[in-house]
Amino acid sequence: MRIAIVGSGYVGLVSGACLADFGHKVVCIDKAEAKIVDLQAGRMPIFEPGLEDLVSKNSATGQLAFSSELAPAVADADVVFIAVGTPSRRGDGHADLSYIYEAAREIAAAVRGFTVVCVKSTVPVGTGDEVERIIRNCNPTADVAIVSNPEFLREGAAIDDFKRPDRIVIGLPSDERSREVMAEVYRPLYLNQAPIMFTGRRTSELIKYAANAFLALKITFINEMADLCENVGANVQEVARGIGLDNRIGSKFLHAGPGYGGSCFPKDTLALVKTAQDSGAPLRLIETTVAVNDQRKRTMARRIVLACGGNVRAKTIAVLGLTFKPNTDDVRDAPSLSIIQALIDFGAHVRVYDPEGMEQAKLMLGASVDYAKGVYECAKGADALVIVTEWNQFRALDFERLSRSMSKQLVVDLRNIYRREEVCKHGFEYVNIGEGVAEDGSVFAAAAE
């Protein structure tokens, strides 16, 4: 099957590489010519484990190609995926659909013969209807069917998610021909018995937003439980395990931390809130989730200040982890950005390190922080070491070495990747999330036992 993918960002590139690996003939299109040149040369614009090898293999066989010219690829395609960005619109928080609609107009001018146009970008309910209206207005003779096929890819595990999905959701129009085409696109996954759910187009669009909002709600719930645990002398990790063993709840996304970030949850929850408000059915739980999460990030900075004795002016704070999660270089809406900015506002000198996110962080933070080349360079002379992202590289730190190089022996672990006794035996003060500690430094739960 011949497939064109409009947009070669995270979703478009991963989807294109995987579909090519299934045996389809795929062309990934992007207006950024420099990006296309890099991709043709095998240079990846993003970090995603396994992606470079997958792109290289399928480019070599001719299954996967890259182009800045939309018209030829679309004219030749059986299916055109729209995978462009839908960032939050400035001013009101709605999803900015201008890239979607621009792609629709260009596709309308280029399409030839029956073609399924599939919206893979995350879009509000009703976007597929507007894409169809645009295409039919621009080209009344176009023989197209507009389909919704949201992505459910986790950064850092995207290839495995695409090839072994929990589910494939396909929102169909009334044109039954599109069902057969989309079934053929995903036919290779039948061998893995991947569940394919065919539904209405608007329902499909809402499923994506509802899934992200519910996961964001779980994260926010356990973060608030962590605060309660600290005040009453409980341990949030044990609370999370205790409720996660209930199959109705499940253990995933019950890890207390500094709040959610990334390219999806912040913008998608906000867009869903706006859609719900406009429809007259406001989602109060999600409104609160957004507000609590935004506040939590700066609250984490105040926690660091408190751990430093209530004042960080002229002190050096070493921050480990800039990306919103491990195994990606994505720093969009990462908790680290809000935490670092708040620390700077409090007068701290901040030094940072991340295994993959340094270049992207420089675009956000500029010269406001110092950039280290490794963990121990970052920690040298620091008054506090703060773990913000749970990279594996940070899970086995040499605390003896850190104690010799740091100015003060203080670790603030915002991801709970260490055990208190493991850190404290090296003479460090240890501050984490969701563990009640008495005034004498003992853990409430341990004292109760």
Residue type, position 15, single letter:
S
Question: Of the listed 264, 308, 378, 424, which one is catalytic?
Answer: 264
CB atoms < 10 A from the CB of 76, how many? 16
Q: 439: which residues sit within 8 A by CB, 6+ positions away?
A: none
Length of the chain: 449
Query: Rounded to an integer, what distance in angstroms lies between the CA atom of residue 284 and that of residue 306?
Result: 32
- Consecutive H or E run containing 66: strand 64-67
Query: Rounded to an integer, what distance in angstroms lies between the CA atom of residue 166 and that of residue 156?
Result: 16
Query: Rounded to an integer, what distance in angstroms lies between the CA atom of residue 259 and that of residue 416?
Result: 13
3-state secondary structure at position 118: strand
Query: Rounded to an integer, what distance in angstroms lies between the CA atom of residue 102 and that of residue 164?
Result: 32
Q: What is the DSSP code (8-state) at residue 393?
A: G
Q: How many helices (H) and strands (E) does the chain have?
A: 18, 14
Query: Rounded to an integer, what distance in angstroms lies between the CA atom of residue 211 and that of residue 213?
Result: 5
Place of tokens 């096929």: 149
* Tokens encoding 431: 């501050």
* Start-end of H helices in 346-417: 358-365, 375-379, 399-405
* Tokens encoding 421: 């006794």
Place of tokens 């992505």: 151
∠395-399-403 over CA atoms, to 5°? Answer: 145
264 within 8 A of 253, measured Cβ to Cβ = no
Query: Rounded to an integer, what distance in angstroms lies between the CA atom of residue 385 and that of residue 358?
Result: 18
Query: Rounded to an integer, what distance in angstroms lies between the CA atom of residue 418 and that of residue 431?
Result: 10
- Active-site residue, 138 included: no
Q: 331: which residues sit within 8 A by CB, 6+ positions away?
A: 322, 323, 324, 337, 357, 360, 361, 364
* Tokens encoding 351: 């030094």
418 within 8 A of 435, measured Cβ to Cβ = no
**11, 96, 221, 275, 285 from 127: Cα distances, Å:** 18, 11, 30, 11, 24
Residue type, position 82, single letter:
I
Active site residues: 264
